[in-house]
Amino acid sequence: MIKVTLKDKSILEFANPLSVIEIAKAISPALAKEACVAKIDGEVCDLRTVVDKDAAVEILTFDDADGKHAFWHTGSHVLAQAVKRLYPHAKLTVGPAIENGFYYDIDVEPAFTGEDIEKIEEEMRKVVKEDIPLERYTLSRGEAVQFAKEREEPYKVILIEELPEGEEISFYRQGDFTDLCAGPHLMKTGALKALKLLNVTGAYWKADANNKMLQRVYGIAFPKKQQLDDYLTMMEEAKRRDHRRLGRELDLFGLYDEGPGFPFFFPKGMVIRNELENYWRELHKEWGYEEVKTPMILNEDLWHRSGHWDHYKENMYFTTIDDEPYAIKPMNCPGGMLAYKRRMWSYRDLPLRVGELGLVHRHELSGALHGLMRVRCFTQDDAHIFMTEEQIPEEIAGVMELIDSVYKVFGFEYHVELSTCPEDFIGTEELRKTSEDALRSVLEARGMDYVINPGDGAFYGPKIDFHLKDCIGRTWQCGTIQLDYQMPERFDLTYVGADGEKHRPVMIHRVAFGSIERFIGILTEQFAGAFPAWLAPVQVEIIPIAERHHAYASELEKRLNGEKLRVESDLRSEKMGFKIREAQLNKIPYMLVVGDKEMEEGKVSVRSRSGGDLGVMSLEEFSAMLHEEIDTKAIR
C-alpha cells in the first residue's frame, strides 16, 4: 500500500504505483484538468512521474509559481517547434521560462521581421491545437551529442558537453520536435489556450559580446484568453507609465549614449531625489541611526579582504593610482567595516546602527540596462547594524518594521522571500544554518508569510528580500535584510564585552529603497508621473487669467514660496484653458486660477489635479490644506 500525503496533510492510499496525474484525478477531475506539474517530497516534477513509495505530493496549477514556470517553459518549446517547422535552418540555443513568460534564443539569418513573428505565432497556435503529448526520455552523453549533431544543432552540442560528468541528460519530445531539457513540462501542448509573441531583440550567445548575436523571441501564454487579454491591457498601461518616457516628458532625468547606464538628474528630478533623501534621514534619525560617508575608491587589498574580489570582480570597475591598483566600490560594506574599526566599542554601544547614502558602481551588460531600473551607478540607502548575537532577533524585527513603514508611505503592498545561502557561501555549514534559522525564526515570530528562494543569498549570508507590488500588479525587489557573520571575521571587528574580553560582533546589511534611482523609477511608474504633493517637483501652478492679474499672481507666488512650497506662475500670454491643460499634462497637484474677483477679494480659485474644481479659498485656507497634505505624505 502506497501512502500519499497531500498539502492539507490528508492521506490517500493506493494499492499500486501510479502517476501524479492519476493521483490528481483521484483527488478531483477539475484539479487534474488544471494541473501543470507537481512536487514530490519537495521536488518539482512532471505529472507523468510515477509515485511508487510513500511520499508527500502537491499538485501545482498555473496559480503556483512552479506551475506557471512549467507552463511558460512548455511555451518556449512550442515556440521552438514552430520556428523549426517554418525555418528548418534555424539553430536553437536556450529557451527558458522567465518572470513573465518565456523566450528562445535562435541563430537565424536573415533576422526575423514583424511578418516572420506573425507567422511563427500562427504556427504555434497550430501546435497547440494539435494537442501534442510531451514525452521525457534520457540518453547517455555520447548518444546525446550524436543526437544533437545529427539534428545539426551545434549549440546543443556545446550545452551537452558542458554538463557535469554523471549528470542525467534528458530530452523532451513533442511530435516532430525534440529538445534538450531538464524539464519539468506540461502533459500536452493543448494546455496553452492563449498565447502571444511580444517582441524580438538581439542577444549575444551566453551574454558575451564576443560571441554571435542571436534572435531572442519573447512570448507569453495563459490557460484562458481572458488572462491574456488582462495581461496585454496591463502591458499597455505599463507603456503609458514607462518611467523613461515620463522622465523625458516631465524633465526629471535622462540617459545618454555618452554614458550608458549612468543617469542624469535634472532640477525637477533632483527635487524628488532630495525629498526622498530628506525623508530617509528623518526616518533613520528617529530609529537611532547615525550617518556616515565612505570613499568611492579604495585599494584592491580591501576587496580581497572583503571577499568581493573572488565573488564579484567581474561586476567591478578598476583604476590605478600612484601605480597601485584600486577599485570603484560596488558596495558600501567594506568602507563601513573600516569606519567601525576607527575605535574600540563596548557592548554598551551596541547595537550600533550606521546609515549611508552611498554611490556605488557595478558593471552591467549593455543589453541588461533599462532606464533607472538597471543602471551602472546608483545610490544605495545602505545601513549596517553591528550587534551582539543576543540582539539579532530584535534588530531584524526592528528593520522589518522600519521597511514596512517606508512602503506604507507610498501605498505599496509587498511579499517577502527568504533567500538562503548560495553554493559559494564563504562561511562554515554551522554558521550557514545559524544565520538562516535566525532570519526564519523572526519571520515566523512575526507571523509573516514567506517563500524560500534557494541559493539567492549573498556570498556572506542569507537575506530577507522585500518584493513590492505596484498598482498594475507588477513586483519589484527593493528592500533587503542580510545577516552576516563573515565580514566582522574578515575585518577582525571586535567589541569589549561585559566580561572585559574582546568579542566578535554580528552585523546586518540592509536597504529600504534598494537604490534611490530605481525607487524613483518605480515611483514614477506607480504614480504615472503624478507624484504626491510632498514629492511633486512643482506643487502649485498659479494661472492669471489676463495680464492685469500678473502682479497679484507674482505676489501669491512670493508668499507661498516663503512658506517653503514649490510654486510657479504661468505668465505667458496664452488662454487660461491652454495653461490649465499644460499644468495637467505636467501633473502639477494644484492650480490656482486668479482673475478680477479673486484679486478684489484677496482669494484664489483652486483646481486639484485629482479632484477638479475645489472652489474659491483664502490663500491661508489653501496653504493650510496643502501643508497638511504634505506633512502627512498623503496620496491623492
Pick from 620, 635, 619, 633: nearest CA to 283: 633
Partners of 381 in the beta sheet?
357
Distance, CA of 315 to CA of 553 (rounded, Å) = 53
For residue 381, the tally of other CB atoms under 10 A from its CB is 25
CA atoms of 212 and 207, how far apart (whole Å)? 10
Q: Which parts of 6-97 fold into alpha helices (H)?
A: 20-27, 29-34, 65-86
Catalytic residue among 105, 179, 381, 382: 382
Catalytic residue, chosen from 84, 273, 308, 362, is: 362
Q: Is-catalytic flag, 382?
A: yes
Omega before 488 within 30 of 0, i.e. cis: no
Marked catalytic residue, from 215, 380, 486, 526? 380
Determine the residue type at 323: D
Q: What is the DSSP letter of 134?
A: P
DSSP code of residue 95: -
Rg of the chain over Cα atoms, rounded to whole angstroms, equals 29
- Judge whether 380 counts as a catalytic residue: yes
The catalytically annotated residue of 509, 549, 607, 609 is: 509
Q: What's the CA dihedral at 426, 431, 432, 438 to 10 degrees?
A: -140
Task: Supply 616's cell numbers.
Answer: 474659491
Reply yes or no on whether 333 is catalytic.
yes
Burial track 135-150 (b if 16+ CB lie within 10 A, e otherwise): ebeebeeeebbebbee
Cell numbers for 392, please give them: 539579532
Distance (Å, rounded) from C-alpha 21 to C-alpha 225? 24
Tell me how far CA of residue 513 lies from CA of 137, 329, 404, 480, 523, in angstroms: 47, 19, 11, 9, 11
CB 472 within 8 A of CB 232: no
Q: Is 36 a catalytic residue?
A: no
> Which candidate in 333, 377, 421, 478 is catalytic?
333
Q: Which residues pair with 201 in a beta bridge?
A: 216
The answer for residues whose C-beta is within 8 angstroms of residue 206's C-beta and 6 or more apart is none
Q: Which of 463, 549, 603, 607 is catalytic?
A: 463
Write down the catalytic residue from 185, 243, 384, 467.
384
Rounded Cα distance between 308 and 302, Å, is: 9
What residues are annotated to the active site?
333, 362, 380, 382, 384, 463, 509
